[in-house]
Amino acid sequence: MQDKPDMLPKATQEDIDVLAKPDASQHESAWTTFRNLPKSHRWPYFYRHFFWPIIIGVVVLAAAIAFIVNMAVTPKGQGLGVAVIDLEESSQQMDGLEDGYEHYRQVNKDLVTFENDFYLDSSNHVSAGNSQETFDVQLSGGTLNTLISTKAGLESKDVRDYVEPLADVLTPHQLGVLRDRGAIVELPLGKDGAARQVALDLGKSDEWRQHADGGTDALLAFVNVQNKQYVRLFVDYLYGM
């Protein structure tokens, strides 16, 4: 014999009917459900459905803004990248030269690098010593644009075809002052081997002699110069212009 519905207490039947009804909010958005809840129930529902997604969204947005700002304020482009090749000047001496230049007219330190770890090997190639990147990589990548070396270093196999004429880098005023001081040096560089004005005698630079213990056989030359401003300022700094 089956029980009839009217055999159940009225309250029990009402509870069953409520439970049997479909959830009216199951097709609503979480936001709509939140708005329809009594105030006393809103915070637990908000915490469960919205709190952590909002926190994660804020963190992601802050990281994106920080990345964009960093990209906007980080200096871009070539500044001064100096490679010291086959000279005995110590890192401390070159650090002094670098510090002096960085304080000269307050240039941006983030655009200045000095590499003091290059030497000529027995096959007349430039080797990188303990440097993580080879000379060729730094040269082709645009990191380096200024060389300090001896005549032999500038005439080496890895350098001679890349040295630029001084007239392509410096201003007419700078060239005139340097010529009057006898600082311009001609070397037979380039593929045709013709002598050109491609280097500066650092023995004529008081600043160089002060930091390099009087290494008067050093020459200054330029390669792959894309931004002339910092290179020209370096010449001004070295020769007191």
Written as one string, the DSSP assignment of 16-54 is HHHHHS--TTTTS-HHHHHHHS-HHHHHHHHIIIIIHHH
Average confidence (pLDDT) over 157-166: 83
pLDDT of residue 199: 93
Backbone angles phi, psi at 12, to 5 degrees: -65, -40
Dist. CA 234–CA 232, nearest whole Å: 5
Evaluate whether 186 touches 114 at the Cβ level (below 8 Å).
no
Least trusted range by pLDDT, from 59-73, 118-132, 145-159, 180-194: 118-132
Strands 146-149 and 219-222, bridge-based pairing: antiparallel
The alpha carbon of 19 is separated from its chain's Cα centroid by a whole number of angstroms, namely 64
200 pLDDT more than 50:
yes
All residues at 6 or more sequence positions from 231 whose CB lies less than 8 Å from its CB, including other chains: 80, 145, 146, 169, 222, 225
State which fold the 80-239 domain adopts. D-Maltodextrin-Binding Protein; domain 2 (3.40.190)
- Over residues 29-72, the pLDDT tens digits come to 777 776 777 877 778 877 787 788 888 888 888 888 876 655 44
| Sign of the alpha-carbon dihedral angle for 131, 132, 136, 137 | negative
Mean pLDDT is highest, among 5-19, 63-77, 166-180, 219-233, for 166-180
- Over residues 63-90, the pLDDT tens digits come to 888 766 554 444 445 688 888 887 766 5
pLDDT of residue 121: 57
Average confidence (pLDDT) over 192-208: 87
pLDDT of residue 171: 95
Q: Identify which has the larger pLDDT, 19 or 113.
A: 113
Counting beta carbons within 10 angstroms of the beta carbon of residue 219, is it exposed (0 to 12), middle (13 to 18) or buried (19 or more)? Answer: buried
Evaluate whether 155 touches 189 at the Cβ level (below 8 Å).
yes
190 pLDDT more than 70:
no
Cα maximum dimension of the chain: 124
- The domain ranges of the chain are 11-73, 80-239
**How many CA atoms lie within 13 Å of 132's alpha carbon, on the beta-carbon side?**
0
- Over residues 135-155, the pLDDT tens digits come to 777 777 777 899 988 888 888
